Amino acid sequence: MVLGTYKEALSARSTDKQIQKISQDGGIVTALLSFALDEKIIDGAVVAGPGKNMWKPEPMVAMTSDEILAAAGTKYTFSPNVWALKEAVRQYGLEKVGTVAIPCQTMGIRKMQSYPFGVRFVADKIALLIGVYCMENFPFESLRTFISEKMGVSPDLVEKMDIGKGKFWVYTADEELSIPLKETHGYEQNGCNVCLDYVAELADVSTGSVGSPDGWSTVLTRTDAGESVFKLAVDAGLIETKPMENVKPGMGLLEKLATDKKTKNQKTIDDRIAMGLPVPYKASTEKEDPLANY
């Protein structure tokens, strides 16, 4: 199962014009978190909020829809969101915390829930975990280097960044620039090269751009909690959906990219094990399912 366990796959987008305008893809993350907040399914959310530097996010405990909205859009560098979960519970006193996480962060959260060694009463307060797909992430200096040196534009002028169609894109007020993703290889953090999860397999609901047309997102509902909040938001008219069969490029591309990532990174894992380097995953020869995330 290259996409993990899921209940339903849909193409979807927020019906809210403002969210559509500033979100990365279909605005699913922003729409779902704000909806969950309004409906008191969560009483706050940890998001990748704006930092001092626009492209260097900082985890933020958002208590209002406006704050959630302010964090919309993808920043292709670290935002250690898991760090702020304890703050959300302790300082903000939240009982039901929502959060957005890339796959590796989802793994940190789920491990903490199953084995909460020193983590007191945080595990049971995670009420909604929205995962976003992720192929790799970049250290901030990497990002700055290839945008300014390879793309020839100051990151300060960039209004949006995106990965799609095999390219890394930046948009300024009057320009649209891209370089082939090949040229960003080697700039990603090394830890990503052993990562076996593309689609946040352990989230309540996962979303990303791949599989759906521009401005839309591909959504995988996974747990009861994820399915329920997504359905409620659709019923409330905040999210519109289309069957995946009706959209291009569709599930095939999502499955292909997830398989490519797992195959390539499993090879890195095998190489590391052969060299005697530590890695928390199994060698391909020890696995029943070569595409499984362990």
Partner 1 sequence: MLARIKEFLGMESKPSDAGEVVSKEEVEKVAEEKPKPKIGYIHLSGCTGDVMSLSENYDILAPLLTEMVDIVYGQTLVDRWDIPEMDIALVEGSVCLQDEHSLHEIKEVREKAGLVVAFGSCAATGCFTRYSRGGQQAQPAHESFVPIADVVNVDLSIPGCPPSPEIIAKTVVAVLNNDMDYLQPMMDLVGYTEACGCDLQLKIVNQALCIGCGTCAMACQTRALDMTDGRPELNSDRCVKCGVCYIQCPRSWWPMERIKKDTGL
For ligand SF4, which residue of 67, 136, 162, 201 counts as binding (CB under 6 A)? 136
Give the orientation angle of helix 224-235 with respect to helix 28-38, to 10 degrees: 90
Residue 81 is a binding residue for ligand FAD (CB under 6 A): yes
Residue 25 within binding range of ligand FAD, rule CB under 6 A: yes
Q: What is the Cα gyration radius of the chain?
A: 19
Q: Does 184 bind ligand SF4 (CB under 6 A)?
A: no
Other beta carbons less than 10 A from residue 11's beta carbon: 23
Residue 253 beta carbon to partner 1: minimum distance, rounded to whole angstroms:
23
75 binds, among ligand FAD, partner 1, ligand SF4, none (CB under 5 to 8 A by kind): ligand FAD
DSSP structure class, residue 223: S
The reply to whether 85 sits near ligand SF4 by the rule CB under 6 A is no
Closest CA to 77 of 141, 130, 160, 8: 141
Asked whether 261 and 195 are in contact (CB, 8 A), the reply is yes
Helix ranges (H only) for 26-90 are: 28-38, 65-70, 83-90
Q: If binding is defined by CB under 6 A, does position 192 make contact with ligand SF4?
A: yes
Q: Which does 237 bind (CB under 5 to 8 A by kind): partner 1, ligand FAD, ligand SF4, none?
A: none
181 binds ligand SF4 (CB under 6 A): no
Least distance from ligand SF4 to the Cβ atom of residue 39, Å: 29
- Rounded Cα–Cα distance for residues 274 and 271 (Å): 5
* List of residues 6+ apart from 171 with CB closer than 8 A: 158, 159, 160, 161, 162, 177
Residues lying near partner 1 in the complex (CB under 8 A): 4-5, 59, 77-78, 80-86, 104-105, 107-124, 137, 139-141, 189-195, 201-202, 222-223, 277-281, 292-294
Which CB sits closer to ligand SF4, 26 or 103? 103
Nearer to ligand SF4, 34 or 206 (CB): 206
Cβ–Cβ under 8 Å, residues 179 and 165: no
d(Cα 133, Cα 127) in Å, to the nearest integer? 20
16 binds, among ligand SF4, ligand FAD, partner 1, none (CB under 5 to 8 A by kind): none
Partner whose footprint covers residue 116, from partner 1, ligand FAD, ligand SF4, none (CB < 5 to 8 Å by kind): partner 1
Q: Which of 14, 79, 137, 212 binds ligand SF4 (CB under 6 A)?
A: 137
- Given the structure tokens 């759906």, which residue do they identify? 212
Shortest distance in whole angstroms from residue 221 CB to ligand SF4: 20
Q: End-to-end distance of the chain based on CA atoms, in angstroms?
A: 13
Give the footprint of ligand SF4 on residues 103-132 (CB under 6 A). 103-104, 108
By CB under 6 A, tell whether 170 contacts ligand SF4: no
> Distance (Å, rounded) from C-alpha 236 to C-alpha 27?
16
The strand order across the sheet containing 97-101 reads 58-62, 44-49, 97-101, 126-132, 205-208, 217-221, 8-14, 239-243
Where on the chain is the footprint of ligand SF4 (CB under 6 A)?
A: 102-104, 108, 134-137, 191-192, 195, 197
Where on the chain is the footprint of ligand FAD (CB under 6 A)?
A: 23-30, 47-48, 57, 71-76, 79, 81, 100, 102, 132-135, 137, 163, 207-210, 217
